Structure 1
Amino acid sequence: MKLIGNFTSPFVRKVRIVAAEKRMEYEWELAMPWEPDSQVSQHNPLGKIPVLILDDGTTLFDSRVICEFLDNVSPIAKLLPQGNRERVEVKCWEALCDGIMEAGILARLELNRKRKSERSQAWIDRQMAKVQRGLDAMEADLAKAAGPWSCGNHFTLADVAIAACTGFLDFRYPDLDWRADRPHLAKLAARLAERPSVAETVPHE
């Protein structure tokens, strides 16, 4: 199978972490979806990464779809629990992290407009407020966690999403200081950073 993506996308990183945890090999194709000559839209009509092309030519897109597919393909290092309630808890964590990353990306796109007069500070503030609320929710939930990981005693897709999310903020918003007043989230992020699958996928240009 072939994974299409780049080294800066936190959504691609989620998939790469999952593949590493499950010891899956894949062909890598570097893609920049924002470039005029990008071929990503040929595989995903939305023009987004990641995209996973299976050996039979089937195309999967959206990191949540791809991560769940990979987890079901192999029994090694299961990342999604079997129980419905436990599974939903993990998926809610993933949705929260994805939402934070999406808001951060939208704010950054607005900040990167060439003409300052074209930027909407209200839009930027709205997106960054989502980021802050999301981080506060993560901290509150982790303060009540019963084990070393976000959903208890087992490393799950929720932790993969948290690693991608916090890594994205460190990469794109180095001055945000999201660790301040969030000791539980900071502690988990530090533990995750030591995991080989996370350390080997640190974002870079």
Structure 2
Amino acid sequence: MKLIGTLTSPYVRKVRIVMAEKKLDYELVLDDVWGPDSQVPAHNPLGKVPCLIMDENGALFDSRVIVEYLDTLSPVGRLVPPSGRERTQTKLWEALADGAMDAAVTARLEQTMRLPAQRSQDWIDRQLNKVAATVDHMDELLGEQAFCTGVNLCLADIAVGAALSYLDFRFPDMNWRAGHDNLDRLMQKLMTRPSFTGTQFAAPK
């Protein structure tokens, strides 16, 4: 399998962490989706990463779709419950984390892709307020549990970890750890895992 992505995307990192936890072999193909020579549009009409090129030459896109597929490829470390309330809880956590990533990425693009005179600080603030509200909610929801849905690592924790580490990477001044001891404790635990330490964000050179 080939994973087309960047080292700055939280969605790509989420997929890479899942692949590491599932012990799946793949080739990471770095691609600039904003560049004229991007490979992504040939496989994903939305022009977004991550994009997974499978061995049978099919393609999957959207991190939520990709990670659910990857979880079926190996019995090692099942990350998504097959059905019922546990599955719903896991997908709810993923929706919260992905929503925070969506808002953070939107704010980042507004800051970097528009000329200063064209930027809307109100729009940036609106997105970052969404992030802050979601972090508050996730911290309360987590409480004193070891992991998001109980005692075992699952996709919920990976999605939350990808989101929070993206805030560290792109919005360090937000200091999301302040007042969020539960999430801070979870993040410290996640950062002891090779799947997280081996997939750190990296800015383009």
Tell me, yes or no, whether TM beats 0.5: yes
Name the % identity. 50
Aligned to 2:101: 101
Which residue number corresponds to residue 152 of structure 1? Answer: 150
Counterpart of 2:19 in structure 1 is 19
The residue type equivalent to 1:49 in the other structure is V
Q: Post-superposition, which runs of at least 4 consecutive aligned residues in structure 1 deviate over 2 A?
A: none
CA RMSD of aligned residues (A): 1.1
How far 1:35 moved relative to its partner? 1.6
Q: Structure 2: how far apart are the matches of 1:158 and 1:115?
A: 36
Deviation for aligned residue 1:183: 0.6
Matched residue, 1:120: 120
Whole-Å separation in 1 of the counterparts to 2:90 and 2:114:
39
Where does 1:7-86 land on structure 2 (aligned, <5 Å)? 7-86=7-86
1:203 corresponding residue in structure 2: 201
Superimposed CA distance per residue, residues 2-57 of structure 1 (whole angstroms, 9 cap, x where no aligned partner): 11111111100011000000100012211111122212111100000000111111
Per-residue CA shift, 1:79-101, capped at 9, x if unaligned?
Answer: 01134110010011111111101
For 1:113 and 1:163, how far apart are their aligned partners in 2?
Answer: 26
Structure 2 SS opposite 1:81:
coil
Task: Tell me the distance in 2 between the aligned counterparts of 1:115 and 1:51.
Answer: 29
> Which TM-score applies when normalising by structure 2?
0.96
Query: Bigger shift: 149-158 or 30-39?
Result: 30-39
**More moved, 74-83 vs 84-93:** 74-83
Deviation at 1:115, TM superposition (A): 2.7
How far is the alpha carbon of 1:74 from its aligned partner? 1.0
Q: CA deviation at 1:62?
A: 0.4
Q: Does 1:192 align with 2:190?
A: yes
Structure 2 residue identity aligned to 1:181: G
Aligned residue pair count: 203
1:130 aligns with 2:133: no
CA distance in 1, matches of 2:82, 2:152: 13
In structure 2, the CA distance between the partners of 1:68 and 1:114, relative to structure 1 (3 Å rule), is: closer
Q: 3-state SS of the aligned residue for 2:4?
A: strand
Is 132-141 or 78-87 further displaced after alignment? Answer: 78-87
Counterpart Cα distance in 2 of 1:67 and 1:60? 10
2:66 aligned partner, one-letter code: I
Which residue number corresponds to residue 3 of structure 1? 3
Distance 2:110 2:166 in 1: 17
Other structure's SS at 1:175 match: helix
What is the identity, as a one-letter code, of the residue corresponding to 1:110? E
Residue 162 (structure 1) shift: 1.1
- State the Cα distance separating 1:172 from its structure 2 match: 0.5
